[in-house]
Amino acid sequence: MSEDKDATHWDARYRAAQDAGSTVWSREPNRFVVAELSDLPPGTGVDLGAGEGRNALWLASQGWRMTAVDFSAAALAAGSRAAAERGLDLDWVVADATTWEPGEPVDLVLMAYLHLPSAVVADIAAKVSGWLRDGGTLLVVGHDADNLGSGAGGPRDPDHLYHGAMRFPGLTVVRNERVERAGAGGATALDRLIRATLTSR
């Protein structure tokens, strides 16, 4: 079963929310993003699959110079409006995360709930060490494979879920664990949190 969804699908979803005066995702940053990244000194960062930018906006409010990448122009337009309201300056890039590359090294790569086929995620993971400055951080948060059987929400295709055996070539993985979060309606969602750093070239 494939759950590949293209930019047209996502654009329609974001536009429907905007027409209803709402957003698809919470306006608040993800709790794991806040917990993991609050103590990092601000630098330059990339949010891949940024959606409406809740995490990139929060990082920008903490002093990060953020580039938010998503293939949904509608999602990024919502993020851009939110940035203007808050007086924040971010770069909003409509691009396919599977082929886009930063123009210069960055201090942070964030992937939050970017669910793609495992081979595609492996391909991105293999590139990230070449994107980071020495000492830079990769943070991945997404629905865990176990969420399928016993957690709330998330993709139903097991090949689109994160798990403990994922590899991040060239990076030192400092955290790779299953974590819990209150999902829709108070049900528990099972997420995977992976944090890795580039320690030397």
Nearer to ligand SAM, 3 or 134 (CB): 3
Residue among 67, 26, 33, 36 at smallest CA distance from 50: 67
Residue 82 or residue 112: which is nearer to ligand SAM going by CB?
112
Q: Which stretch binds ligand SAM (CB under 6 A): 71-79, 101-109, 169-177, 190-198?
A: 71-79
Which is nearer to ligand SAM, 96 or 134 (by Cβ)?
96
Write out the binding residues for ligand SAM, residues 92-151 only, by CB under 6 A: 96-98, 112-114, 116
68 vs 65: CA distance, rounded Å: 10
Q: Which of 32, 37, 51, 162 binds ligand SAM (CB under 6 A)?
A: 51
Which CB atom, from 101 or from 201, has the smaller least distance to ligand SAM? 101
In the set 72, 118, 129, 147, which binds ligand SAM (CB under 6 A)?
72
- Contact criterion met (CB below 8 Å) for 173 and 195: yes
**Cα-based distances in Å from 97 to 135, 138, 159, 183, 185:** 23, 15, 18, 26, 30
Q: Between 30 and 67, whose beta carbon lies closer to ligand SAM?
A: 30
57 binding ligand SAM? (CB under 6 A): no
Please report whether residue 10 would count as binding ligand SAM according to CB under 6 A. yes
Which residue has the CB atom at the shortest distance from ligand SAM? 51
Residues 77-96 touching ligand SAM, rule: CB under 6 A, are 96
Give whichever of 85 and 201 is closer to ligand SAM, judged by the CB atom: 85
Per CB under 6 A, residues contacting ligand SAM are 10, 25, 30, 49-51, 54-55, 70-72, 75, 96-98, 112-114, 116
